[in-house]
Structure formats: C-alpha cells, structure tokens
Amino acid sequence: MAKQPTEAELKAQVKALQLRVAQLEKAASRSGKSELELALRERIKELDCLYTIARLRETHLYSTDQFLHGVAECLPRSWQYPEHACARIVHVGKHYVTPRFEQTKWRIASEVFVDGQVAGVVEVFYREVVPTGDDGPFLKEEYALIQAVAERVGSMLTHMKTQADLRAAHRAVQREHQALQEANIALRAVLSRLEEEKREIRTSILGNIQKIIMPIVFELELEVTGRQRSYVTLLRQNLHEIASPFLTQICRSHMQLTPVEIAISTMVRNGLSTKEIAHLRCISPATVRRHRENIRRKLNLQNQKVNLATYLQASFSDDAPSETGVASRLPPEEM
C-alpha cells in the first residue's frame, strides 16, 4: 500500500507548482511583449519610409534622378531584415540601385504608373536566406508598403512630367513672343522705309511737275481764253493733286463717293463754282447742285452751315500750296 504524503509534503508540492505556474506566466508575458514591440518597430520603419519619400518630393522637385535615388536608398532599412535587403527602381530604362545590389529570387515588387501607363517598377530583394513566415520572407505589411511607395513614386513622376511640359510650353511661348517682337520691329522698319520712299517719290514728282511741266502750263494759260483757259487752269490745279494725298484720303475715308462725285469734290476743293463745273463737264448746274448735295450728305454735312470747299481743304489738307483763296468767300448757293 502506497504511503500517503503528509500534509507538509502536499504543501511543499503546491508551493512548487505555484512557483512553476508563475514562471510560465512570466515567460508567456515576456514573449507576447516582444512580438508587440517587433510589430511596432516594423510599423515605425514603414512610416519613416513614407515620411522620407514625402521629404524627397519637396527637396528634389525638379530632379527625377535624385528623387529616385533617394527613394531607392530609403527602402532597405524599412524592411524586416535591412542588413540583407537591397532595392532597385527602374524608370524609362534607367536603373537606380542601392550599394551592394544583388538580384536574387527573394523579390518583392510593385509597378509604377504614370498617366495610366506602366513607367517602371519598385523592387526589394534579400541577398540571402532569411527566416520566413507563412507568407514567405516578406511580411504582408511589406507588400502593402511597396505598393504605397510605387503609388507615391508614380504620383511624383506624373507631377514632374506635367511641370516639365508646362516649362517647355512656356519656353516655346516665350520664343514665339520674341520672334513676333523681332518680326514687328522688322515690319515697322520696312513700313517706315516705305513711307520714306513714298515721301521721296511724291517730292520728286512734285518737283518735276513744278520745274518741267508747270512753266509750260503757265505759258499755255496766258495764251488761251474762254473755255479753253478754264480747262488749262483746272489742268494746272490738278497737276498739284497728282502729288497730293487728297484723292487717296477721300477715297479711303469716304468709299461711298462715286467717281463722278470724287471728281466734282476735287473741282470744288480747287474753288470752282457750280456754273464753272457745269460748263467744264457739259452738264446742267442743277445736276452739279445735286452732286454737291449728295457729297454733303455722304460727308455728314447736311443741315450744317459749312462751306464744302473749305471743309474739303481743311479735312484733306497736304503740304502743297493752296491754289485758291476764294473758297470761303463763295456765295450761299455754292455752300
């Protein structure tokens, strides 16, 4: 028959069991705390990675190479085993890698999209075997992290591309603006030269008329009488108009005037009366008065006490000397 333990022995066994339970509970508590600290450290590294990328966006806004180099260098230290990790970013055929980069079979990656198109890839490798879990050597949080990194890289590259396009468009606009300014300067120079040549030609024509033709016309005017003399006088006056801008100005400013009205306006401006104009053109004075009324209407002189000859001389004056001083002294019917 087995010997029953005494009360003291039972107390000793209970005490030993209680001590063991306490040790086991302490070990279990210590193990759980270690896993929590590990998870927190991993999350801190992930947040630090995303914060670093945000700073790189600000400091390397205009340099794609520096930005991608900086992102690649911050990736390994954000993984669970940074001492064995290396990273690479590929963008439009260029590779941005970390020191001691080695392409192995232990790879995690995410594609980079720019304007909806695949423009590159972000990759992290382990150079050697590391402890693995149920999902392999990489944590599920690390898969989410590399996707977030790829999204931020794609967003930054899209922004850089947009800014580069805007700068290129601005430079193109500036070049076109400069070209237009230069063209305008050249055009103004050409127009100025043309105006100068026109003045020189007009001066030359007027000089030749005064030196060569006008002496003959003056002699002829002294030799003839009557109707023929009126024609010679009109010829002399119209010769001055050849070099005058009167006809050009009145045609341009009052395109509604007919050729006959322009001819009569020229005669009126030179001081001819209604009867003289009718006699020279072989029409009745009533027809001349009707033409004068039409001219006044088209020149907006209706119901105004303005002498037509004076108005034409004042409105279309030129450098040529006036051939008449009687226009302002015409009788009322000549208004």
Which residue ranges form the domains of the chain, and what is each CATH number?
Answer: 31-163 (3.30.450.40), 202-334 (no CATH)
- The distance from CA 100 to its chain's CA centroid, rounded to whole angstroms, is 47
DSSP state letter for 14: H
Q: What does each of the 335 residues of the chain score in pLDDT, given as a tens digit?
A: 445 455 566 566 656 666 766 665 555 555 554 667 777 777 888 888 888 888 888 888 888 899 999 999 999 998 888 999 999 999 988 999 999 899 999 999 999 999 889 999 999 999 988 888 777 888 888 899 999 999 999 999 998 888 889 999 999 999 999 999 999 999 999 999 999 998 888 778 777 776 777 778 777 877 888 778 778 877 877 776 665 555 556 655 556 778 788 778 878 887 888 888 888 778 899 999 999 999 888 888 888 888 888 888 777 654 444 333 333 334 444 55
| DSSP secondary structure letters along 66-88 | HHHHHHHHHSGGGSSSGGGEEEE
∠ CA 320-325-331, nearest 5°, is: 135
pLDDT at position 151 is 93
Sheet bearing 117-126, strands edge to edge: 94-97, 85-91, 117-126, 107-114
pLDDT at position 145 is 92
pLDDT at position 69 is 93
| DSSP secondary structure letters along 176-237 | HHHHHHHHHHHHHHHHHHHHHHHHHHHHHHHHHIIIIIHHHHHHHHHH--HHHHHHHHHHHH
Q: Pairing mode, if any, of strands 94-97 and 107-114?
A: unpaired
Q: Quick count: other Cβ atoms within 10 Å of Cβ 153?
A: 27
Question: Is 239 within 8 Å of 213 (Cβ atoms)?
Answer: yes
Q: What's this model's pTM, rounded to 2 decimal places?
A: 0.49
Query: Which residue blocks in the chain are alpha helix, DSSP H?
Result: 7-59, 64-74, 140-208, 214-223, 226-242, 246-253, 259-269, 274-281, 285-298, 308-315
Q: Count Cα neighbours of 129 within 13 Å in the Cβ-side half-sphere.
A: 1
pLDDT at position 189 is 92
pLDDT at position 233 is 79
Question: Is 261 within 8 Å of 277 (Cβ atoms)?
Answer: no
Task: Name beta bridge partners: 136.
Answer: 133
Amino acid letter at 189? A
